[in-house]
């Protein structure tokens, strides 16, 4: 029985308020033990240029993807963990102040809830992770896809309990927001057009009134001259 072959990259997709999705790609070959951070100021920068209501809920370094050599497979295993490694090599979180430290922001979610910030999770082909859950019409997801087997389109079970239907729902929500935004754009354009036409009519009325007033004054001056 053949197994799906994993893609050589991870895909991180951002969706916000109907905008076109923003996709970041991380090559598996580029991931090492030092890790690649995801966040507002991470190696992979997310929620760039978005309103404060979004980025205030996303840590500067929300999560880190790193590799651990596996001698049994002579390959590296890929892990994801909340936060990042500090200069002393210990794991920490952006803006940490409490003792013991606590995860800031929304955290990374598995399915319907946040994962433990102190326990790494091994990523496997088929993974579907909410790096940032839906907040203020923004969401950021991580996927590790697989090649179809014999063109059948089958893939490994996802690492987390969320399937293709849930993923399609997320994309559907984003498309719906985009369509709603398009309708609003049309409404705004229509109102602006009406406003422009009203301004044009007002200017035309003002011009005609000015011309009529000048004509009436001229006729009165002529009549006054004839009376004399």
Task: Report the CATH architecture of 9-160.
Answer: Sandwich (2.60)
Place of tokens 């399609």: 168
**Alpha-carbon 205 to chain mean position:** 48
| DSSP one-letter string for 170-212 | HHHHHHHHHHHHHHHHHHHHHHHHHHHHHHHHHHHHHHHHHHH
Cα–Cα distance, 47 to 12 (Å, whole number): 12
**Prediction pTM value:** 0.65
Q: In the prediction, which pLDDT does 151 show?
A: 55
Cα–Cα distance, 183 to 32 (Å, whole number): 46
Q: Are 79 and 67 in contact, with CB atoms under 8 Å apart?
A: yes
**Alpha-carbon 93 to chain mean position:** 22
Alpha helices in the chain, H assignment, sequence order = 52-55, 164-227
Q: What is the pLDDT of residues 83-139, one digit of tens each?
A: 998 888 888 887 665 555 555 667 888 777 788 888 898 998 888 889 998 888 899
Higher pLDDT, 6 or 25: 25
Q: In the prediction, which pLDDT does 160 show?
A: 47
**Alpha-carbon 107 to chain mean position:** 16
Report strand pairing: 36-39 vs 44-45.
parallel
Query: Where along the chain do its domains lie?
Result: 9-160, 163-228
CA distances from 191 to 4, 95, 172, 178, 204 (A): 53, 45, 29, 20, 20
Chain mean pLDDT for the chain: 78
Q: What is the pLDDT of residues 174-207, one digit of tens each?
A: 655 555 566 566 666 777 777 777 777 777 777 7
- Write out the two tokens for 108: 């990374």
């Amino acid at each position: 029985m053949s197994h799906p072959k994993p893609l050589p990259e991870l895909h991180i997709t951002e969706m916000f308020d109907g905008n076109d999705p923003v996709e970041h790609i991380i090559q598996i070959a580029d991931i090492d033990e030092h890790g690649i951070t995801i966040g507002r100021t991470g190696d992979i920068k997310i929620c760039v240029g978005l309103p404060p209501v979004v980025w205030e809920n996303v840590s500067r370094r929300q999560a880190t993807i790193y590799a651990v050599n596996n001698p049994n497979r002579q390959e590296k295993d890929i892990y994801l963990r909340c936060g990042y490694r500090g200069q002393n090599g210990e794991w920490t979180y952006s803006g940490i102040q409490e003792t013991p430290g606590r995860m800031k922001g929304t955290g990374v979610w598995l399915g319907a809830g946040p994962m433990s910030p102190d326990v790494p999770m091994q990523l496997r082909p088929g993974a579907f992770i909410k790096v940032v859950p839906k907040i203020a019409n923004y969401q950021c997801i991580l996927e590790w896809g697989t090649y179809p087997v014999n063109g059948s389109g089958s893939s490994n079970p996802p690492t987390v309990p969320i399937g293709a239907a849930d993923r399609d729902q997320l994309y559907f929500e984003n498309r719906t927001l985009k369509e709603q935004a398009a309708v609003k754009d049309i409404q705004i354009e229509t109102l602006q057009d009406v406003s422009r036409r009203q301004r044009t009519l007002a200017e035309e009325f003002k011009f005609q009134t000015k011309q009529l007033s000048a004509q009436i004054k001229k006729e009165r001056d002529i009549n006054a001259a004839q009376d004399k």
